[in-house]
Structure 1
C-alpha cells in the first residue's frame, strides 16, 4: 500500500468551489424545510402559471425510451423555425442545432468541443457564475473583464492565445441588453482575430415591453464564428425540466454531438416530446407573464433608487445587480448576514466576478411585490447599519 486514499478528489476539482447561487438556494431550501419564512430573492427562475404536463395522448414508446441524441426532430424543427421567424437567423434543423439537458451543460459541451488546454476565453463581468469554472474545467484560461470596462475596449484583452469570447445577452445578473453597435463590434472583433463568439441568450424572451430582442447570430447567418446557446427551461418558466440547445455551424455541432452522446445521450424524451407538441401554446401562455415579471423588475429598480441603492444599468430579465453602497461588508458576508438576521436571500456579487464583490443579485421572479418590498427594506437597513 502506498498510503493514498481511494476517496481523494482530483487536484483540479479541489480548486473549484460550489456554485454560489445554488449554495444559497440550498440554504433556503434547508431553512424552509425547518419552518423558516425566507423572502427568496436569490432564485434564478421565475414562477409562472404553467399547466402540469399531460402525457395521456402519447404512446408509451414515445415517452419511455431514448430519442435522437441531436434532440427530438420535431422539436429541432420548431426551434429552428423560432429563430428564423423571430430573429432572422436561419437554422438547419438537421445539422445546425442540438438539444440537450439544459443550457448550462450546453455551454460546457460547446467549450469541451472547442477549447484546447491553455486557450484563453474572454468573460465579461458581471458574468454568469459558471462560465469561468467551465472554461477552467476544459483546461482553458478564463480572462475576466471588469464590469466597468466597455465592450469597445475588449481589444486589449485579446491575445494570441484567445479562443473565444462569451457574451450573456440579456445579462444575468444585471439585465443589460447589448446594443446593435456593441454586437457589430463583437462580430468584427471575432472576424479580425479568428475567435469564436459564444452568445448565451437564455433570457431572450425577458426583454422590456415594446422592445425586440436582437439575436447575436443574426449578423452571422453562415455561423462562421457565432455559437448560440439558449434555454427552453428559462423562457417557459420550467427551469426544473432542464432543456437547452445549441445553434452553430454543422462542423461544431458534429463535435458537440459526440460529447453529448458520451455524457448525456439525449435530452429527456417525454419532456421534449411535450414541448414539441405544445410549443406555440406554451409561448402564448408564458409571454404575458414574462412581460409582467420584467415590468416588476423595472419597478423594483425604482424602489431601490428611492432608498438610495444604485444598480448596474439594465432593463431585461428578472434580475437587478444592486450596489452595497457605503457598506463595509463584502458581498458574501453581506448575503450571509442578510439571510441570518432578516430571512432574506440574495446572491453575493463575488459569484459574478472579482470586480463585482460590492454588489448583490436580486431576483424578483419568485416572490410577490409585497414580499419583494420587504426584502428591499431589509437590504437597505443592512447597508445603513454596516456603513463606514
Structure 2
C-alpha cells in the first residue's frame, strides 16, 4: 500500500496521540490519570442542552445548512461579536466550523502558498506547527517573552502570517491591550496578515481579554479571529467553533470546507449559539480557580519544579529543568511507573517543561495525580518523599 509523500513524513498531533495512548491503556484496564489534555468535568451549559433538546422535540428533521452556517446562527454570532468583543461584523464575514482546528486549517490554507513563512510564538499549541508543515509552510518559532515590546518585535523577520494565541496555551498569558497595540503597529508596518486564536476568551482569572480585531480596521489588515466553544463552555465533544474574517477570506474558506465536511452539524450550530450567549461561565471558572490554586500550592515547595500560577486557561506549565531530565523521558517514565499522563514541553516547542491539564475528574483524583508526579520526581531527584 502506497502512502503519499506529503503525509508519509508527518506524525500524528502529539496532544491527540498521547490522549489516544491513555484511552488504549484505560481500555486495557489500566487506571491512568490523564493530565495530557484538558477535558472538563463540567457538562455543557444548561441553555445549550435545552436548545438542542427543544430542537429535537420540535423540529425532528435536522437540515443541511449553507456551508458557512445557518443565517440565523451567524446573525447571533455577529451580535455576540458586537456586544462582547466590540467588533462589528456582517454575517458574510463569519463561517461556522467543526472546532477551532478546522478554522485554523482553512484560514492558513487560503492565506498562504507552499513555502511561505508563518510566525508562531513558542511554547505553542501543537496544531499551529503541525498544520503549517502539512501545507508545506515554514513555521518560524519565536520564544514568547514575558512582555511584548516594539524592540522585541523588531528582532523578528516578518513573514506572510503571524499566529497569536490569546489567552495563551500553555502558559496562560493574557496579552495586554498595549502588547496587542505593539503587535498591530508591527504588522501594519510590515504588511503581515494575522490569525488570532481567541478560543480561551472566557477562561481568564487575572487580566482582561481584548480582541485584536477590535483595535484596528481588521478587514484592511487581514485579520482572522478564531473562536471555539470547546474549552470556554466545556463542549469538547461538540466540535464547534467559528471564524471571523474579511468576506474574501470567508468565501475562500467556504470553497475549501464545502468538499471536505460541508457545514458543521446543525445541532452543533444551535449549541454554539446557545453557548456563546452564556457569557463567562462563573461557576465553572470558580471551580477552575480553586483547582489551579490547589495544584500550584502543592508544587510550591517542590525543589525540582517551578509552577507559576497562570492568568488564564485549563493548563499549568511546569519548569522541570532542575531535574536535568529530558521532559519526553520524564513523561514516558511517569506514565509507565506512576500511571499519570502529562504533555512534554517538547511537543509544544520548549523542552524541559511539562503541561498539566488540571480540569478533568474530581479533586481527589486531581490531587492523587499531583502526588504521584511529586513522588516520581522526588525519587528521580533523590529527595525524600513528604
Measured at CA, do residues 220 and 123 of structure 1 come closer, stay the same or move farther in structure 2, by a change above 3 Å?
same
Measured at CA, do residues 56 and 267 of structure 1 come closer, stay the same or move farther in structure 2, by a change above 3 Å?
closer
Tell me by how many angstroms 1:277 deviates: 5.5
Instruction: Decide which of 224, 229, 233 is 1:232's aligned counterpart.
Output: 229
Alpha carbons 1:348, 1:360 under 8 Å: kept: yes
Determine whether 1:255 maps to 2:252. Answer: yes
Measured at CA, do residues 14 and 151 of structure 1 come closer, stay the same or move farther in structure 2, by a change above 3 Å?
farther
Determine whether 1:365 maps to 2:363. Answer: no
Alpha carbons 2:119, 2:163 under 8 Å: kept: yes
State the match for 1:332 in structure 2: 328
Equivalent residue runs for 1:107-256 within 5 Å: 107-148=104-145, 151-152=148-149, 153-159=152-158, 162-208=159-205, 211-225=207-221, 226-256=223-253
Measured at CA, do residues 294 and 318 of structure 1 come closer, stay the same or move farther in structure 2, by a change above 3 Å?
farther
User: How far apart, in 2, do the equivalents of 1:293 and 1:332 lie?
Assistant: 27
User: How far apart, in 2, do the equivalents of 1:20 and 1:198 lie?
Assistant: 22
User: How far apart, in 1, do the equivalents of 2:276 and 2:241 lie?
Assistant: 14
Secondary structure of 2:237's counterpart equals helix
Instruction: Decide which of 366, 374, 380 is 1:380's aligned counterpart.
Output: 374
Q: How many residues align?
A: 372
Measured at CA, do residues 350 and 300 of structure 1 come closer, stay the same or move farther in structure 2, by a change above 3 Å?
same
Secondary structure of 1:259's counterpart equals helix
State the match for 2:342 in structure 1: 346
State the match for 1:104 in structure 2: 101
Tell me by how many angstroms 1:197 deviates: 1.5
Determine whether 1:315 maps to 2:315. Answer: no
User: How far apart, in 2, do the equivalents of 1:190 and 1:151 lie?
Assistant: 13
Secondary structure of 2:356's counterpart equals strand
Secondary structure of 1:57's counterpart equals helix
Tell me by how many angstroms 1:245 deviates: 0.8
So what's the TM-score if we normalise by structure 1?
0.89
State the match for 2:20 in structure 1: 26
* Superposed CA offset, 1:112-156 (max 9, x none): 000112111000001100111111222211000124585331332
* Superposed CA offset, 1:67-111 (max 9, x none): 111112222122211121112111112x21110111111000000
User: How far apart, in 2, do the equivalents of 1:274 and 1:49 lie?
Assistant: 13
User: How far apart, in 1, do the equivalents of 2:329 and 2:160 lie?
Assistant: 35
* Superposed CA offset, 1:205-238 (max 9, x none): 10016x4321121102443222101102222211
Alpha carbons 2:94, 2:250 under 8 Å: kept: yes
Structure 1 runs of 4+ off > 6 angstroms? none
Alpha carbons 2:167, 2:201 under 8 Å: kept: yes
Cα RMSD for the two superposed structures: 2.1
Tell me by how many angstroms 1:278 deviates: 6.6
* Superposed CA offset, 1:288-334 (max 9, x none): 21342144224422322232421356310110110113223222211
* Superposed CA offset, 1:268-290 (max 9, x none): 1122134436753x557x44213
User: How far apart, in 1, do the equivalents of 2:14 and 2:136 lie?
Assistant: 21
Measured at CA, do residues 72 and 287 of structure 1 come closer, stay the same or move farther in structure 2, by a change above 3 Å?
farther
Determine whether 1:89 maps to 2:83. Answer: no
Alpha carbons 1:294, 1:316 under 8 Å: kept: no
Measured at CA, do residues 84 and 221 of structure 1 come closer, stay the same or move farther in structure 2, by a change above 3 Å?
farther
So what's the TM-score if we normalise by structure 2?
0.90
Unaligned runs of 5+ in 1: 1-6
State the match for 1:60 in structure 2: 60
State the match for 1:303 in structure 2: 298
Tell me by how many angstroms 1:180 deviates: 1.5
State the match for 1:3 in structure 2: none
Alpha carbons 2:326, 2:351 under 8 Å: kept: yes
Alpha carbons 2:35, 2:340 under 8 Å: kept: yes
